[in-house]
Amino acid sequence: MSTHFFDLDRDQLVAFMQEHGFRTFVADQLLRWVYQRGEIDLEKMTDLSRGDRTRLAALLQFEHAEELTSQSASDGTRKLLLGWKPDQDPGDEPSSLRLLAPPSRKETECVMIPTEDRKTACISSQVGCPVGCRFCASGLGGLEGNLTRGKIVEQAWRLGRLPGVERISNVVFMGMGEPLANYGNVIGAIRTLNAPWGLGIGARRITVSTVGLPAAIRRLAEFELPVTLALSLHAPNDELRREIIPWAQHATIKEILDACSSYFKATGREITLEYILLGSFNDQAEHARELAGVAGSLRANVNLIRYNEVEGLPFRRPVSSDVHRFQALLREQGVNVHIRASRGRDIDAACGQLRHKQRQDPSSPVTER
């Protein structure tokens, strides 16, 4: 079975070359071709000997995923649905899943979000999601497995090769899955995304979004790279939060905020509180006042997110006047708050929507837009 190139860091690739009888500088040649030039066709790597190229083709696998479909929005947002080839080694799956017959193909989404000054890759860390937020399509089928380091990196690499992207400036772990529930693979992927031999993305431009796992947040505070931490709060009190986030029963907001405070003290990085506004559910004046109190308890800024509706789920998008009123109430309390621009509204933009749509009606092709 060939080795997934993106699973290897530089030291591992050098060791791989030595193990298989290559000169060690071949590792750096490969890294330059793949990460700096975006090239994975060995035949185009002309500074490698023909013999080396032939042998490497049998040993290394570059693309582990098949692009099943893609959608392009009028604002330039591009979403890819990737189908991952089955692994013979089930080690990237939770042990409880190894007893089950695996699906023929596991699917995840990743998104390129371009603006004038940045190119942001939104990538997934798991197949499905174990958290099961009531408003989100990602967890409708539960968790099917963890993505390996290489599969996480491959998403960012693929998005960086899209026409007009040239270079990814930012990466956010806000796709499918709970990143801190796949800690080892996510941390390994971040090292590759950040490394000068990899994609060379600054740590401060890499955001890990979590529903709030206090022990994992404290562990992340000890990580050598000071990435940005975003907390998916979505409700200002525990009672309301437990209605929409099943995992909220495992930790109170106070326990999560204490861990976030530890993260700030260790890294100096301000926490981002993500708050999705669900029409007539968590967008009332009393919720804004409660949220102001939460935000004021630590060094944090607040991102307000308008909900993108998911077919079959009971929540609705808030009206614009309510969103701006909510923001104004927070600002009156001294909160640094912004309304995140809605991107990709004319496609299946929210997490898990494209995969959910395909699974609901797999016989209906999704045309690229």
Q: Does the pLDDT value for residue 101 go beyond 60?
A: no
Give the pTM: 0.90
* Known catalytic membership, residue 109: yes
Say which of 122, 133, 136, 351 is annotated catalytic.
Answer: 351
How many independent structural domains does the chain possess? 2
pLDDT digits (tens, 9 = 90+) for 203-245: 999 999 999 999 999 999 999 999 999 999 999 999 999 999 9
What are residue 114's DSSP bridge partners?
Answer: 119
25 and 93 share a domain? no
Q: Which residue has the tokens 């204490």?
A: 258
170 and 28 share a domain? no
Residue 366 lies in a domain: no
Boundary-marking domain end, from 17, 45, 62: 62
Say which of 93, 109, 144, 178 is annotated catalytic.
Answer: 109
pLDDT digits (tens, 9 = 90+) for 145-197: 999 999 999 999 999 999 999 899 999 999 999 999 999 999 999 999 999 99
102 and 215 share a domain? yes
Can you give the pLDDT at residue 354? 58
Q: Which residue has the tokens 């206090």?
A: 214
Residue 365 lies in a domain: no
Mean pLDDT of 60-64: 96
Measure CA of the first residue to CA of the last residue in the chain; give whole Å. Answer: 37
Is there a contact between 265 and 255 (Cβ–Cβ < 8 Å)?
no
Crossing angle for the helix pair 214-221 and 253-267, nearest 10 degrees? 0
261 and 141 share a domain? yes
Whole domain around residue 8: which residue ranges? 1-62
Phi-psi region of 209 (alpha: psi -120 to 50; beta: other; left: phi over 0): beta
234 and 315 share a domain? yes
Residue 367 lies in a domain: no
Boundary-marking domain end, from 11, 44, 62: 62
Is there a contact between 232 and 132 (Cβ–Cβ < 8 Å)?
no
Rounded Cα gap, residues 14 and 295, in angstroms? 46
197 and 250 share a domain? yes
* Known catalytic membership, residue 351: yes
Residue 327 lies in a domain: yes
222 and 171 share a domain? yes
Boundary-marking domain end, from 15, 41, 62: 62
Rounded Cα gap, residues 322 and 333, in angstroms? 17
116 and 4 share a domain? no
Sign of the Cα torsion 192, 198, 203, 206 reads negative
Is there a contact between 6 and 151 (Cβ–Cβ < 8 Å)?
yes
> At 33, which CATH number?
1.10.150.530
